[in-house]
Amino acid sequence: MANTKEPMVVAAEKETTKPHVAVLPSPGMGHIIPLLEIAKRLVIHHEFHVSFIVIATNEASAAQDKLIKSPTLPPGLDVVYLPPVDVFAVTTKDMSLLARLCAIVEEAMKSLKSVLMELGKLKAVVVDLFCTQAFDICSALSIPAYLFFTASVALLTFSLYLPTLDREVEGEFVDLPEPVKVPGCPPIRPEDLLDQVKNRKIDEYKWYLFHSSRFYLGTGIFLNSWEDLEPANFKAITEGPFFKQIHTPPVHPVGPLIKQEEPLTASDADCLAWLDKQPPQSVLYVSLGSGGTLTVEQITELAWGLELSHQRFLLVARMPTNSSASAAFFNVGSDVNDPKAYLPKGFFERTSERGVVVPSWAPQVSVLKHPSTGGFLTHCGWNSTLEAVTHGVPMIAWPLYAEQRMNATILAEEVGIAIKPVVEAGASLVGRKEVERAVRLMMEGEEGKNTRKRIRELKDSAAKALEIGGSSYDPLACLAKEWKS
């Protein structure tokens, strides 16, 4: 079992002959999961001692807590907590998601230098994209620091281009008459741009630009992807003249890194037992990520659409809110709710033969790898996307916030592994008839068959990339060898 110790005593208590690396994620499941996976790989496959540095706060995230305190973490992976940040002292209630996250990280970084020094001689530090202040600290300590980019290569290429775009374009990017053309990459429609760059006057934009402008300071960049999934963006960042000109650090594909296992609760076991009784590939899994929430009106339309489709479903339901699509981001797994209080009256009775509703949280990896699961209605967060590809489950794309609209378009239009519901012009939500159409198309239609065939090809490609000698195994193995020498 991994040790969770206060930072002041870690270095004194832990002596090891193995080379030592530190890994620093920012808060949030979408960041913790992939950085924890690369930490595990360094311990298990490459014989490193890894200190996994957690930005602690006085806000509860039951799911995050459960993950980093898992008894299945390998020996040699130590969880080290930075002194807790008082969220209420550094944030306000009206702060948007990224501004809030960055304010928490900024405060936490004040103690990072002393913690890194106490950890002893480090070969490298792997840093999340919203922790780029660590580059300066590592530089002062003469420790190589690598960026781990937790999203798609498409978003990375856009982010590296953003400082140029910021200098060259006046006004708002969303008002541009044409798609944004990142050199060498597929164009991005203005409406698909990530939320954080849709208003250049707000703090979220300033924070995103701040971190993007510092990516070049990394000794290298880890990509949680592989060439077959994003060939055009991959070619641009490795061979394109623009990315050479801006001194992009060497990139190291290591993906898809996804959560491999999860401890199961009694309710988790119940929903898996229900899946055991369903026919192969017959169930649509509906989950909108660790932070995603719908409005009252939208969850009503989604429920009606599932009912009208007459397809089997497993719905992860979260208390609706009209305030923010990312309302559960910081307290994921902690929100207690009763879906009967907000799903349509009689919904449970009418769908009891073919549907199950789970409040708040489901064991996603176990559900996606289950033979009865035949489709995944997802918010298109990058972790969920990679989990779907790794387990060969085609998607209905239901983006909510951050860069999810960009991901949805790529998955549906470029990669061909997702179906996008159509939102009528002027409408603010996906209506029940459109939900019904998309679900039937995925579970019964020709388009569903095509996406299923394509995603199986990518599933095989992902598995090959991670094998010894594969295009995502070897870059980490080479770096590990370099760090050891």
Residues 6+ apart with CB under 8 A from 231: none
* Catalytic sites, residue numbers: 31, 128
Cα separation, 387 vs 364, in Å, equals 9
For 19, 271, 273, 286, 372, the CA distances from 266, given in Å and listed in that order, are 39, 9, 10, 20, 20
CB 285 within 8 A of CB 312: no
**Helices in 345-381 by DSSP H: which ranges?**
347-351, 364-368
- What is the three-state SS of 298-344? HHHHHHHHHHHHCCEEEEEECCCCCCCCCCCHHHCCCCCCCHHHCCC
Residues 6+ apart with CB under 8 A from 59: 87, 330, 331
Q: How many CA atoms lie within 13 A of 484 on its CB side?
A: 13
* DSSP 8-state class, residue 240: -
Q: Treating both helix axes as pointing N-terminal to C-terminal, what angle do 382-390 and 29-44 enclose, rounded to 10 degrees?
A: 50
For 213, 264, 443, the CA distances from 295, given in Å and listed in that order, are 35, 29, 25
Cα separation, 237 vs 183, in Å, equals 9
Give the containing element (helix H, strand E) for 254. Answer: none
